[in-house]
């Protein structure tokens, strides 16, 4: 479950956020609209979904010979004002080598967020607006709900400053996602193997 700190002292800047040590318990510390948000360490199911996204993206880029794209899990993303955000997406596709621990939003070709039941609608909307304001061309969101059988991936393309749904996939067989730097074929049904 994601929750804002009860009595945040702020607003903080992205530079403040970058200078902070990560929480020792493995939780994520993000900056949203200048305020600190703590997200507990992701569950095994959450990480399993993220790792499958990484595999599918890497396979698609390799098949297309795209050596200029780098798929990396859980790195910091700097988004400047007016969003004053420092986010840690579940998966990013970088347009440069992944040297360092944090990256500018302009270095991202795609962001994937795996939503858990505890992510509020306001948190989801704010993050999507921050990515759009920073010009991230593609965003994937995965809603895992309470059971992987109901898994849904929604792929957005940035159009005129707003995200438009281009593809949706569920755990019912292979789907080609075109809202990406290259088409990506994935099969969310493969994730159901996790339960057995």
In a domain, 3, yes or no: no
**Can you tell me the distance from the alpha carbon of 79 to that of 99, in angstroms, rounded to the nearest whole number?**
18
Exposed (0-12), middle (13-18) or buried (19+): which is 27, by Cβ within 10 Å? Answer: middle
Note the pLDDT of residue 24: 87
In a domain, 4, yes or no: no
Element (H, E) at 127: helix 121-133
In a domain, 49, yes or no: yes
In a domain, 121, yes or no: yes
Note the pLDDT of residue 191: 77
β pairing state of 35-39 and 85-87? unpaired
In a domain, 159, yes or no: yes
Domain that holds residue 150: 42-195
Residue 136 sits in a domain of what CATH number?
Answer: 3.90.1570.10
**Can you tell me the distance from the alpha carbon of 61 to that of 9, in angstroms, rounded to the nearest whole number?**
42
Note the pLDDT of residue 32: 82
In a domain, 62, yes or no: yes
β pairing state of 76-79 and 102-104? parallel
Q: Which residues of the chain have pLDDT under 70?
A: 1-10, 81-82, 145-149, 193-196
Note the pLDDT of residue 22: 84
In a domain, 19, yes or no: no
In a domain, 68, yes or no: yes
Quick one: tokens of 49?
A: 């979904």
């Amino acid at each position: 479950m994601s929750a804002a700190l009860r009595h945040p002292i702020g607003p903080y800047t992205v530079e403040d956020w970058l200078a902070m040590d990560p929480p020792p318990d493995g939780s994520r510390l993000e900056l949203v609209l200048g305020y600190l948000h703590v997200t507990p360490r992701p569950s095994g199911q959450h990480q399993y979904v993220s790792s499958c996204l990484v595999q599918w993206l890497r396979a698609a880029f390799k098949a297309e010979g795209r050596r200029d794209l780098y798929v990396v899990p859980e790195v910091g993303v700097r988004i400047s004002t007016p969003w004053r955000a420092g986010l840690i997406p579940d998966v990013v596709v970088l347009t440069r080598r992944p040297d360092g621990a944090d990256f500018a939003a302009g270095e991202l070709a795609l962001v994937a967020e795996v939503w858990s039941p505890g992510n509020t609608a306001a948190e989801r909307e704010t993050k999507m607006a921050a990515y759009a304001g920073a010009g991230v061309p593609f965003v994937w969101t995965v809603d895992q709900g309470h059971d992987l059988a109901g898994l849904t991936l929604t792929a957005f393309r940035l159009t005129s400053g707003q995200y438009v749904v281009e593809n949706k996939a569920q755990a019912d067989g292979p789907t080609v996602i075109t809202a990406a730097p290259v088409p990506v074929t994935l099969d969310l049904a493969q994730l159901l193997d996790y339960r057995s």
